């Protein structure tokens, strides 16, 4: 004799091994290869930045008129900025990225061979908080110290 809960467990276990209702209905789980795009997503997705965002970026990023901020052309992509420019993201600026980039962050990025735009957005707030803490304890802000802590 089985209890109601045992039969539910048994039927759930059996359903795992049975064919999916989606595949039985003839609907594919994944698109067919001819339906897939021919280029990677990062080549197709363009910036959603607008001219009206430039003032916000300049104000939050603390550019003080020393840096040129431009809206990318629809054909430009984050991994291919125009010559002489670097790509940064709004969420990085919202999380503490300021210009010019603090020397210890630039030195840290050089040390780990990474572009500052490749850091996760919360990395800036983390590194700035760490800088305040290290300064409070009179510990130098050098890549060696940062690598010991990261």
Quick one: tokens of 29? 């789980």
Alpha-carbon span 130 to 143, nearest angstrom: 12
pLDDT of the residue at 24: 55
CB neighbour class for 134 (10 Å; exposed up to 12, middle 13-18, buried from 19): middle
Domain extent at residue 137 = 4-149
Counting every residue, how long is the chain? 150
With bands split at pLDDT 50, 70 and 90, how would you rate the model's confidence at 44? Answer: low
Q: What is the pLDDT of residue 41?
A: 64
What does DSSP assign to residue 137? T
Q: Is the pLDDT of residue 130 over 70?
A: yes
Instruction: Look at the pTM and tell me if it is higher than 0.85.
Output: no
pLDDT tops 90 at residue 136: yes
């Amino acid at each position: 004799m089985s209890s109601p809960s045992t039969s539910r467990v048994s039927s759930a276990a059996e359903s795992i091994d049975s064919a999916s209702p989606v595949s039985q209905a003839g609907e594919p789980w994944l698109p067919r290869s001819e339906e897939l795009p021919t280029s990677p997503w990062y080549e197709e997705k363009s910036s959603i930045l607008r001219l009206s965002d430039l003032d916000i970026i300049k104000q939050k990023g603390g550019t003080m008129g020393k840096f040129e901020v431009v809206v990318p052309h629809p054909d430009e992509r984050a991994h291919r900025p125009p010559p002489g420019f670097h790509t940064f993201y709004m969420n990085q600026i919202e999380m503490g990225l300021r210009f010019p980039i603090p020397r210890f962050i630039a030195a840290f990025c050089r040390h780990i061979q990474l572009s500052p735009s490749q850091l996760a957005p919360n990395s800036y707030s983390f590194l700035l908080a760490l800088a305040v803490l290290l300064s409070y304890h009179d510990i130098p802000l050098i890549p060696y110290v940062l690598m010991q802590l990261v």
